[in-house]
Amino acid sequence: MDADVLIIGAGAAGLMAAVGAAETFTRDGVDGRVVVLEKMPRPGRKIMITGKGRCNFTNVKQWNEFSSHVHPKANFLKQSFYNLTSEKMVDFLTTHGMEAVIERGDRAFPASHLASDVVDTLVKAASEAGARIICGKEVTDIRRHDSDGTADCRSFSIRCSDGAEYTCRKLIITTGGLSYPKTGSTGDGYDWAREMGHTVRPLFPSLTAIVPKGYKDDTSKPQSKDLKGHIERSLPLTETGQALCGNQLKNVGLSIIADGNEIQNEFGDLDFTDGGIEGPIGFKVSRKCVNALINGSKVTASLDMKPAVELDDLTVRIGTLWNEISKDKRNSNKLYKDRFRILLGKVLPMSLIPAFQKLNPGADHKSLPRLLKDWKMEIAGFVGYERCVVTAGGVSLEEITPKTLESKLVPGLHFAGEILDLDADTGGYNLQTAFSTGYLAGISAAKP
């Protein structure tokens, strides 16, 4: 089958690339064929699990604030973003029949809070624009042909595992990264990029759980030899992990120290899960934390349970509480450890006390203020691609033209979405990056 624009991967970037290409052909009065090949049984498998199935599909912050959440070179995204801003993305989905709502932190969700509505709307928009989406087509080989300069020259040949072959003038690779491989993200695009001469920047998991030392029973199963610091999420929790797991902390501080130097400090909400430290600020620090661990640094997390109170003021407050507890006649016959536990109940969530005491065995009322402001946990590793939200690293941005997303090395070849060396914080930023780069790649590929 011949196509004018062929897209490999029907995820967020691929579906928007199909819309952009098909709309451009129609607008220019060109009879162009747009084909999307997806190896999974249906499109948008990874979108379906985004936000635990609720799908925080974008963030409506303006560029100056949005860009601060994009790594490693936000300026590369600027052209794509202004071509399809997050507000335009909300309007696009609304126009195609999906109502959206904006929640705390400028995060946009489908009003139904069903990720399937986002996928269905994207598929509908691409199909109505004229693109053909073919599922169950696993691409196994891409071959590039020398162009003879004619408009109808077929520059690429694509072969699938079932023997089907396709040719196209323009090729867009939107195969995603390595995260959640069960959704189809197995890194095929990186290999094709390398085969065509592109540099792939080092890959590592981001927006993932970081695992404190002693949290997982990581002695029962060897760690990955391919990814230093990787700890399987499926490993059982230790007694310490069980004591921490399930605690959700609001308005706390979290610092990451690598080889004695603080590399990041965040304030917000944090969750202890069966994976390790997660939640908004846990995810936010994971990128630098994982990178440091992979590079062999000793990493420590410091938890500030009382970030709104200075250490001196907290010391006075706890001293006052201790005096009140000690003078209370009801406590006159109680042991020190029992009175100390009463004190802990006044400054910590009850569910967190067992873990706090286990990890700080020498704690007393005098050291408590310092420990609350600087509860240190050595980080042993991180959960890998099996459950990370996004893959950091990817096709080098220096080899891609930001105005078109076209390769500087291979004319007619475009990249968009997670396959690029472009990732972002949690909160809708990654999906918007995929939508924006995909849309611009599609528009650019459809132009003569």
Question: Domains in the chain, start-ordered, CATH in brackets?
Answer: 2-203+391-446 (3.50.50.60), 208-388 (no CATH)
What pLDDT does 332 receive?
87
Asked if 278 and 209 count as a contact pair (C-beta separation under 8 A), the reply is yes
Cα separation, 315 vs 147, in Å, equals 74
Residue 376, beta-bridge partner list: 302
What pLDDT does 151 receive?
43
Among residues 119, 205, 231, 209, the alpha carbon closest in space to that of 418 is found at: 205
pLDDT in tens, 277-323: 999 999 999 999 999 999 999 999 999 999 999 999 999 999 999 99
Cα separation, 112 vs 23, in Å, equals 27
pLDDT in tens, 222-272: 566 678 999 999 999 999 999 999 999 999 999 999 999 999 999 999 999
Residue 216, beta-bridge partner list: 237
What pLDDT does 145 receive?
84
Lowest mean pLDDT among 37-46, 143-152, 361-370, 423-432: 143-152
What pLDDT does 221 receive?
59
Average pLDDT over residues 61-75: 98
Average pLDDT over residues 196-214: 97
Cα separation, 428 vs 414, in Å, equals 23
Cα separation, 28 vs 31, in Å, equals 9
Neighbour-count burial of 11, counting CB atoms closer than 10 A to its CB (0-12 exposed, 13-18 middle, 19+ buried): buried
Question: What Cα–Cα distance (Å) separates residue 218 from each residue in 242, 298, 311?
Answer: 14, 18, 35
Which residues are within 8 A (CB) of 190 and not within 5 positions of it... i.e. 6 or more apart? 200, 203, 394, 395, 419
Give pTM, 2 decimals.
0.93
Which residues are within 8 A (CB) of 145 and not within 5 positions of it... i.e. 6 or more apart? 153, 154, 155, 156, 157
Residue with tokens 């050595």, as numbered in its chain: 378
